[in-house]
Structure 1
Amino acid sequence: MHTLPARSIALVLGTRPELVKLAELIRVLGPAARVVHTGQHYDDELSGDFLAELGLPEPEYLTGVGGRPRAVQVAAALGALDELFAADPPLAVVVQGDTNAALAGALAANARDLPLVHVEAGLRSHDRAMPEEHNRVLIDRLADVLCAATPDNRALLLAEGLPEDRIAVTGNPVVEAVRDHLPPAGERARLLARHGLAADGYLLATVHRPENTDDPAALAAVLTGLADLAAELPVVLPLHPRTRARIAAAGLTGLLDGLTVLPPAGYGTFLALARHAAALVSDSGGVQEETTVLGRPLVVVRRSTERPEALADFAELVAPGPAIAAAVRRRLAEGPAGLRRLSALPSPYGDGTASDRIADLTAHLARERAVPGSGHAMAA
């Protein structure tokens, strides 16, 4: 992207999954990338260490956003972004997904009449109880370029009346993120040995969504399901700080006793653990995508999902409680043949070139914006 002025593309993000999915796009954009971190989930465990691991430039950080209610987060980030864009307007703004940070970035771009690119457009859970559903619908309405990961996402956007010429099926950058950051086989083997794990001989779980952590009964049901499985196979649980706090507040710490609890894992470490797990249990949207690249079975503990593509072969949607262990046992019963079948399937999220496609679309949009007198004259 050498034809774009330095720091002319603002990528607004605020969470660890956004860092992962935008990392390759940031590298492709090179000096043109201007990374703005709202601090929605910023801490050293969840974001800070990722910058170094992913090889990303130090972002511009906003203050006073993290750890606040949703409306306050969006308002605070919007105000700070508006000041940044007023003082130094980019040629285009890129947001990814459906976070509060992404919504704030989209609103700030709209307020300053800046072109907006939405990565991962067109996801829909059709669950109005999910805050992210409202965020993603609003962002799609505001975006000038809608980067749909799959043809189904494109179809959903068209069904909502969004113009066809604003939509491009790009694939999802999660595919290249997994391929780029999965450690080599030898390193993975050493990691498993350090934790006393055997390949295909343990389960990997993550729990962080409010629907599973804010309700003590739901949280207890999830942890009880994992503890039930731990009687048969080791259950590895990298524990999100928010989840750990909720477990302590609900008096459920004893349910962790039979689990292998780890601190939040770096991205490469998590991928290595996921690659060799007999099955995964998670409420994460990103994990639903990553398991399709890694060829692993997943039990999704949620009431709805915006990623139905994963459900066709790789995942099953269940409620907290006994259904978790039952679904995992069904997958385990498929044995090595089941794992071989999944490993042979292509990911529904693309071929690993999404970031290049998104960079080209963003650059085209920025060049259209860079007119004489705009303050961002294009390089010759």
Structure 2
Amino acid sequence: MGTIAIVLGTRPEMIKLAPIAGRLGDRARILHTGQHFDDALSSSILSEVSLTEVAALGMVGGRSRGVQIGAALCALDENFAANRPAMVMVQGDTNAALAGALAANARGIPLVHVEAGLRSNDRAMPEEHNRILIDHISDLLCAPTAGNIANLRAEGIASQRIRLTGNTIVEAVWQHLPSAGRRDEILGAHSVKPDAYVLATLHRPENTDDPAALRTIVTELSDIASNSLPVLLSIHPRTRAALVANGLLESLEPVSQLPPLPYGEFLALARHAAVIVSDSGGVQEEVTVLKRPLVVVRRSTERPESLRHFAALVTPGPALGDAVRRTIASAPDLANARCPYGEHATARIVEAVNELLARTAAA
């Protein structure tokens, strides 16, 4: 049926696309744009999720959005010209995904968008523009939820291009969550006990590039660590640079500062945290599988499904600390709350891909 070029550039794409690449087997050709190039966010994650045959196209990370997209687009266009795939697949809303989508469109190659139809309705988010552009030029839109499908139909995208598939994050979490015994070892290594600590991550520009927002988040996390429960903060390279530039590392002293964690180790800590604090889109999905409460530090979200049972949306400020302390005090029981992101997404996506390839070959 031909080769399927899977374009990725960031840690979340690696995690979510790995199950699909595994099912496609030799038909998958992995192309890495280098948007994430730090070892903890790239090569070690590729190894952990068993993406071993990967073609690196360069290193665009750390550059402006326009340069990232432009450089990746040029590299992908050259790659597609030299070795044209039967189809291109991208995931989510990253600069790498937009570059892959534009490169496929420019060469007239069928395009699949995994995780289509997410909308925050916040035009200040670069990712919102990326995901809208990708959706409107894709030939197959794999939507995780019925709400995502409604978003696409509201924008006039033809129903025959859309498939309800669920999200591969569900399978990825179950595949990489360590055993109970191994989780006990990981918690012990971090000197924490189940339901008695806060796990935090922070990386989005709206928080790291705004000194006032970053200072407020640091203040709230440090206060929680000093007065409520231990706080483990996994620090993204972008965040560490911002903390240093704004002289905030010293203010984080009460907080346990960790590097970006291997995926399995992060899941183990997330599974037993009293509450998680994060601005990550992926974490909003993972908590629905792990059945843990989350405070989302953002002004908007493209994943309202997670807010129904598992997450609260707050902006930086005293509301952040208040939301965390309320969650700690109430200790919500989420064991029976339904994960909104479905099951067997990988099989549904590959089935839809094969159908599109068959139609394309017959045309």
- Report the equivalent of 1:227: 222
- Report the equivalent of 1:67: 62
Contact 2:37/2:59 (8 A) holds in 1: no
- Whether 2:119 is the aligned partner of 1:124: answer yes
State the shift of 1:368 in Å: 3.1
- Report the equivalent of 1:27: 22
Q: Within 2, Cα distance between the matches of 1:202 and 1:110?
A: 47
Q: Within 1, Cα distance between the matches of 2:53 and 2:200?
A: 30
- Report the equivalent of 1:313: 309
State the shift of 1:323 in Å: 0.8
State the shift of 1:369 in Å: 3.2
Contact 1:203/1:277 (8 A) holds in 2: yes
Q: Within 1, Cα distance between the matches of 2:38 and 2:222?
A: 29
- Whether 2:159 is the aligned partner of 1:164: answer yes
Q: Within 2, Cα distance between the matches of 1:123 and 1:251?
A: 36
The gaps in structure 1 that reach 5 residues or longer are 373-380
- Report the equivalent of 2:336: 344
Superposed counterparts of 1:44-123, under 5 Å: 44-123=39-118
Contact 1:91/1:369 (8 A) holds in 2: no
Contact 1:62/1:77 (8 A) holds in 2: yes
Indicate which of 192, 196, 199 corresponds to 1:197: 192
State the shift of 1:123 in Å: 0.3
Superposed counterparts of 1:278-297, under 5 Å: 278-297=274-293
Indicate which of 267, 274, 277 corresponds to 2:270: 274
**4+ runs deviating over 6 angstroms:** none
The gaps in structure 2 that reach 5 residues or longer are none
Q: Which amino acid aligns with 1:70?
A: R
State the shift of 1:313 in Å: 0.8
Q: SS state of the match for residue 206, structure 1?
A: strand
Q: Within 1, Cα distance between the matches of 2:360 and 2:153?
A: 25
- Report the equivalent of 2:354: 363
Contact 2:296/2:311 (8 A) holds in 1: yes
- Whether 2:327 is the aligned partner of 1:331: answer yes
- Report the equivalent of 1:252: 248
TM-score by length of 2: 0.98
Q: Within 2, Cα distance between the matches of 1:255 and 1:94?
A: 43
Q: Within 1, Cα distance between the matches of 2:229 and 2:111?
A: 47
- Report the equivalent of 1:377: none
Q: Which amino acid aligns with 2:284?
A: Q
TM-score by length of 1: 0.94
Q: Within 1, Cα distance between the matches of 2:125 and 2:14?
A: 22
Q: SS state of the match for residue 287, structure 2?
A: helix
Q: Which amino acid aligns with 2:336?
A: A
Contact 2:276/2:293 (8 A) holds in 1: yes
Q: Within 1, Cα distance between the matches of 2:141 and 2:22?
A: 21
Q: Which amino acid aligns with 1:152?
A: G
- Report the equivalent of 2:202: 207
- Report the equivalent of 1:180: 175
State the shift of 1:346 in Å: 1.9
State the shift of 1:371 in Å: 6.2
Q: Within 1, Cα distance between the matches of 2:21 and 2:52?
A: 9
State the shift of 1:366 in Å: 2.2
Task: Report the aligned-residue RMSD.
Answer: 1.1
Q: Within 2, Cα distance between the matches of 1:43 and 1:206?
A: 16
Q: SS state of the match for residue 118, structure 1?
A: strand
Percent identity over the alignment is 60
Contact 1:92/1:365 (8 A) holds in 2: no
- TM-superposition CA deviations, 1:68-91 (whole Å, max 9, x none): 111111111111111111111111
Indicate which of 256, 259, 263 corresponds to 2:259: 263
